[in-house]
Amino acid sequence: MRLLHTADWHLGRQLHGHSLLDDQAHALDQIVAAAAELRPDAVIVAGDIYDRAVPPHEAVELLDEVLARLVQDLRLPTLLIAGNHDSPARLAFGARLMRGAGLVVVGQAGASPPLVLEDAHGPLDIFGLAYAEPALVRAVLGQAVHDHDAALRAQIAALGRDPGRRAVLVAHAFVAGGGESESERPLSVGGSGMVGTDAFAGFAYTALGHLHAPQSFADGRIRYSGSLLKYSLSEAAHAKSATLVEIDAAGACRTEDIVLSPRRDVRILTGLMASLLQAPRSEDYVACVIENTEALAEPFAQLRQVFPNLLMIERPFYAAGTAVQGAGAEALRREVPDLFADFFEQSVGQALSAEEAAMFAEIHDAWQKAQRESG
Amino acid sequence: MRLLHTADWHLGRQLHGHSLLDDQAHALDQIVAAAAELRPDAVIVAGDIYDRAVPPHEAVELLDEVLARLVQDLRLPTLLIAGNHDSPARLAFGARLMRGAGLVVVGQAGASPPLVLEDAHGPLDIFGLAYAEPALVRAVLGQAVHDHDAALRAQIAALGRDPGRRAVLVAHAFVAGGGESESERPLSVGGSGMVGTDAFAGFAYTALGHLHAPQSFADGRIRYSGSLLKYSLSEAAHAKSATLVEIDAAGACRTEDIVLSPRRDVRILTGLMASLLQAPRSEDYVACVIENTEALAEPFAQLRQVFPNLLMIERPFYAAGTAVQGAGAEALRREVPDLFADFFEQSVGQALSAEEAAMFAEIHDAWQKAQRESG
């Protein structure tokens, strides 16, 4: 039995104001192509399908298209659960009518019948649990659960699974010990929001969503496939992938990474301006850490010539604070004519002559006088 | 061949700040019950399913529930089109996957394969056209259409229908000569937005949405079923209904009204305050036209005792302007002590004594003096 596990698509998300829709479509093409080639018994998407409760309509169209290709064209049973970014009601619209076509959407909290697969070794049940706050689990199950750990255990207990059958769980949760990225929205403010891995005992495999770095627990039996794309600069070093899971007759499993190649990578480049400007031109989403200590003329505009999708620049050595940044702090206290001389030299490439400096000082004085008078 | 035609559900709409969701669920229960009893060959909803592009999630849940009952529980083929209030992409999500279950959603502009029904007399094609602005039709069909009439005719021509087969058209449009209500959003600002009835020649029946009053053209072969509920006070006199259409072997049709009884009616009551206050208590959505010419103490609060869902009051004879309203205009020029005397009499039920009037005049003088000094 083979399952293709992916999660955290966050369709409709932006990165520093750049729409990622084309990047998401590009990565989803690879998921569909992998599904077509590998022919898994089912495809699993473990929550945060959309980036927000009301996604842009282009994201709705993209999901519609991808699901039609997986479920209708490739005839692959597909199971989606709602994550903490999804609207349960909006994601689950039409779920009952689509189930017959082979698409299982678990949007609302509470037990939903499993997707049942069959291989030579017998049946395998895939249970999907929608993300649910403890308060919602209390309301739905009528149990006094007060944190995410207890809430998830109560939901698992309520699944009513047959312990004699192989089973897979699909959930959206923060497993204790997992590594976070900056693009995940915390599940709990104050409380830990974490779930112990022993909650998943008895499942052949637990397909998780929420954490954006691919990572495994319990020898790979509990796994985050990771997100579709790098959704923050903190994920620049990640290798994003989907997970192909193989489950044998006894319920033992092994996983394999299906690497996803982004349309545009997310990279952080560090160096002096001169060397950054000599980098090969790239459409990647790039953040530049500029190590120069002095003032620079329009560094963002300059770097955007090389990196048209430049996300941001950082000037760690050109601001007040630390010893090194002291140079920057001092600059702020210098007089405007001095600063202009520096700026001129960096922009034009040669020093301001004494005559030019005098001319600027004169203009500056006149401007200051005018300011005082108008004030 | 029998079709149940309804339209303009506007799920999620409010009436003067009152949520109508329970009223909509109540009316939809009647549609489902009629469908269960009459067992039409298909159910048609001719656009404006939701009231806005992004409906509240409770409206999404209600539609999901109603469609599951019609399509899954009753196994009735159902066809929905997008109206001018719907988001094409959002309404059409999952359409390809739901078609197999018997639900046809035509959200996007352009030709969509018909829902084909069969009876003893042969096949009948039901073509759904989503509402589309002329500019969109130009883009999709590549034809130089500049108004709604030309746009709809171009869309109909592009359906590629077989003239030898009986066909029904489902559209969302403003037919020339149709009667408007206040709750319809104009399709066109400036241009007429209207479509001639001859555009529908050749269809056994045209099931229309957009106008909220049930109304027929061409001996009933072209019909607005009307909206699910009264969505404005201008519809207070409407009788809302769904339409049962019967189409014979030759393609001739006859229609029958399936009356919808609202959970709470929309009514306009006109009279003097004393008689309005003696009306039987009612949960209906009521607007009161109060004919009294004099000032009244908290008339809204008083009437809400009788009509807890009071929408608004109107005081046509208590404002400046016409001859009758002159009484009100005069009141505005009267001195405050005189106005207070009137107010006291109406509130307490007895006239202000000379002593009380003097006391009020004294207080009022002191207040006016204080106002002048502080100013």
Q: What mean pLDDT comes out for the span A171-193?
A: 82
Indicate yes or no: CB of B94 within 8 angstroms of CB of A90: no
pLDDT at A118 over 80: yes
Indicate yes or no: CB of A98 within 8 angstroms of CB of B98: yes
* B324 and B241 together in one domain: no
* A272 and A230 together in one domain: no
Dihedral of CA A206/A211/A212/A213: which sign?
negative
How many Cβ atoms from other residues are within 10 Å of residue A213's Cβ? 19
**Residues forming beta bridges with residue B122, ordered by sequence position:** B119
Indicate yes or no: CB of A89 within 8 angstroms of CB of B54: no
How buried is residue B228: exposed, middle or buried, by Cβ count under 10 Å (0-12/13-18/19+)? Answer: buried
B11–A contact, CB cutoff 8 A: no
* A14 and A116 together in one domain: yes
- Which residue in the block uniquely carries the two structure tokens 């009267």? B334
pLDDT at B111 over 90: no
Instruction: Band the pLDDT of B327: cuts 50, 70, 90.
Output: very low
Which positions in chain A touch B72 (Cβ < 8 Å)? 96-97
Summarised one tens digit per residue, pLDDT across range A258-312 is 999 999 999 999 999 999 999 999 999 999 999 999 889 899 999 999 999 999 9
Residue B105: give its domain's CATH number. Answer: 3.60.21.10
Residue A304: give its domain's CATH number. Answer: 3.30.160
Summarised one tens digit per residue, pLDDT across range B23-66 is 999 999 999 999 999 999 999 999 999 999 999 999 999 999 99
Report the pLDDT value the prediction gives residue A148, as an integer from 0 to 100: 92
Residue B292 Cα, gap to closest chain A Cα (Å): 49
Spatial neighbors of A112 by CB under 8 A, at least 6 apart, are: A104, A106, A127, A128, A130
Q: Is residue A328 part of a domain?
A: no
Instruction: Band the pLDDT of B359: cuts 50, 70, 90.
Output: confident
Which positions in chain A touch B61 (Cβ < 8 Å)? 89
Q: Which two tokens stand for residue A201?
A: 């005992």
* A174 and A205 together in one domain: yes
A72–B contact, CB cutoff 8 A: yes
* B102 and B235 together in one domain: yes
Single residue among B215, B242, B259 that ends a domain in this structure = B259
Residue B101 Cα, gap to closest chain A Cα (Å): 6
Report the pLDDT value the prediction gives residue A305, as an integer from 0 to 100: 96
Q: Is residue A326 part of a domain?
A: no
Give the total number of structural domains in chain B: 3
**Residues forming beta bridges with residue A4, ordered by sequence position:** A43, A244
* A103 and A161 together in one domain: yes
Single residue among B233, B259, B285 that ends a domain in this structure = B259
* A41 and A129 together in one domain: yes
Summarised one tens digit per residue, pLDDT across range B231-261 is 999 999 989 999 999 999 888 999 999 999 9
Instruction: Band the pLDDT of A82: cuts 50, 70, 90.
Output: very high
A95–B contact, CB cutoff 8 A: yes
Residue A101 Cα, gap to closest chain B Cα (Å): 6
Report the pLDDT value the prediction gives residue A83, as an integer from 0 to 100: 95
**CB pairs < 8 Å spanning A and B:** 73
Summarised one tens digit per residue, pLDDT across range A149-165 is 999 999 999 998 998 89
Using an 8 Å Cβ cutoff, are A104 and A79 in contact?
Answer: yes
pLDDT at A349 over 80: no
How many Cβ atoms from other residues are within 10 Å of residue B37's Cβ? 9
* B117 and B245 together in one domain: yes
B61–A contact, CB cutoff 8 A: yes
* A198 and A134 together in one domain: yes
Task: At B151, give phi and psi (nearest 5°).
Answer: -65, -45
Q: Is residue A324 part of a domain?
A: no
Q: What rounded mean pLDDT belongs to chain A?
A: 89
* A127 and A203 together in one domain: yes
Domain extent for A196 = 2-259
Using an 8 Å Cβ cutoff, are A293 and A324 in contact?
Answer: yes
* A270 and A167 together in one domain: no
Instruction: Band the pLDDT of A323: cuts 50, 70, 90.
Output: very low
Locate the chain A residue with the closest alpha carbon to B87. Answer: A57
* B152 and B23 together in one domain: yes
pLDDT at B329 over 50: no
Summarised one tens digit per residue, pLDDT across range A204-227 is 999 999 999 999 999 999 999 999
Own/partner long-range contacts of A195-198 (Cβ < 8 Å, ≥24 apart):
A195/A148, A195/A149, A195/A152, A195/A153, A196/A149, A197/A222
A73–B contact, CB cutoff 8 A: no
Summarised one tens digit per residue, pLDDT across range B172-181 is 999 988 888 8
Indicate yes or no: CB of A60 within 8 angstroms of CB of B100: no
Using an 8 Å Cβ cutoff, are B214 and B243 in contact?
Answer: yes
**E strands of A7-128, at which residues?**
14-15, 18-19, 42-45, 78-81, 103-106, 115-119, 122-128
Half-sphere exposure of B137 (CA within 13 A, CB side): 23
Instruction: Band the pLDDT of B318: cuts 50, 70, 90.
Output: confident
Q: What mean pLDDT comes out for the span B142-170?
A: 92
